[in-house]
A and B are shown apart, each in its own frame.
Chain A
Amino acid sequence: MKSKKSQNLITGVIMFLILNVIFFSIMFIFVGSVGTTGSFIEKEYSQKVALAIDKFVPGTEVSVDISELYSYARNNNYAGNIVNLDYTDNKVTIKLKNGEGSSFYYFTKLNPGAVSIDEKKMALIIKT
């Protein structure tokens, strides 16, 4: 009787520990992956590109490394335009999958074609 009681107790403790490990593993995976999800990366890069356009004085040429975006787009099987510039509405849109993507406005007046992509270097060339 005593042995059965202690066996049940051990089973309960083991179950409790296993559930704890599962729970905290899920939490660790969530915390680790949330910053690298597609939508966060889209938002981060749309802000980064818009800020790069606005930060530098007119006449400057800036190169932004977007190799990370290519690898995310490849993983999502997305073959469309990753970086889209709307020169009329002053808007940068980053898309890593089919959908609307993430957009961010900039205040600098850019000439059409001022932003181009260097496919070889996987870099965005901005001529302010």
Chain B
Amino acid sequence: MNKKADEKYLSIWMFLIWAIIGVSIVLGVLMFYSVQGDVRQIEAQSLADRLSSCITTNFNYGEITKSDFNIYLKCNLNKDIFDKQNIYYFNINITAEQKQTEKIISGGTNWKTECDYQFLRKEADRENKFPQCTKQDSTAFDSTTNKKYIVSIITASNQK
């Protein structure tokens, strides 16, 4: 008689349901915090802001096209972190507004394909295997030559 009452409320199925609910809550909470702790998009945006700001301020196309131009020195970036750690990428494309002259500067792990794929989908792929990318276009004016240039910057971060 006693067994029947216990079985009705404390059956093995009840414990199984609690286990399923418990595991679901734990997984949900851990997933929530892992997504919240994903700052790759913010990092990529910070890198794009840094590059855009340092290139377009007092823009001089002649200086940038020089063979000894050092983007890391100019923008106060640590070259080693871009070369040794596979966590950052940048690509700067400078095009004259009328002519097709073009200067490309890039650094870090080459994630151009991954970034182009993300931009094509028009949404950030939240999967962990892909880096998070940002794209920023700005106009720069070279006061020495009185010419306008389009500075297109793609940056990515894959630091988890």
Contacts and interface: CB of A to CB of B under 8 A. Distances in A.
Contacts of B5: 5, 8-9, 11-12
23 contacts: A4-B1, A5-B5, A8-B4, A9-B8, A12-B9, A13-B9, A15-B6, A15-B9, A15-B10, A19-B18, A23-B22, A26-B22, A31-B25, A31-B29, A40-B33, A40-B37, A54-B43, A89-B80, A104-B159, A105-B81, A105-B159, A107-B77, A128-B76
Given A23-B22, A54-B46, A57-B50, A109 B78 contact: yes
A35 interface: yes
Contacts of A90: 78, 80-81
A108 B76 contact: yes
Contact of B46 (A19, A43, A55): A55
A116 B30 CA distance: 33
Contacts of A34: 29-30, 33
A9 B6 CA distance: 8
A35 B77 CA distance: 33
B158 to A, nearest CB: 11
A13 B80 CA distance: 65
Contacts of B18: 19, 23
Contacts of B146: none
Contacts of A109: 72, 76-78
A57 B53 contact: yes
B39 interface: yes
A9 B1 CA distance: 9
Interface of A: 4-5, 8-9, 11-13, 15-16, 19, 23, 26-27, 30-31, 34-35, 40, 43-44, 47, 51, 54-55, 57-58, 88-90, 104-109, 128
Interface of B: 1-2, 4-6, 8-10, 14, 18, 21-22, 25-26, 29-30, 33, 37, 39, 42-43, 46-47, 49-50, 53, 72, 76-78, 80-82, 85, 87-88, 159
Contacts, number: 89
Which secondary structure dominates where chain A touches chain B? helix
B53 to A, nearest CB: 6
A66 B106 CA distance: 36
Nearest to B108: A107
Given A8-B5, A16-B10, A34-B33, A105 B85 contact: yes
B54 to A, nearest CB: 8
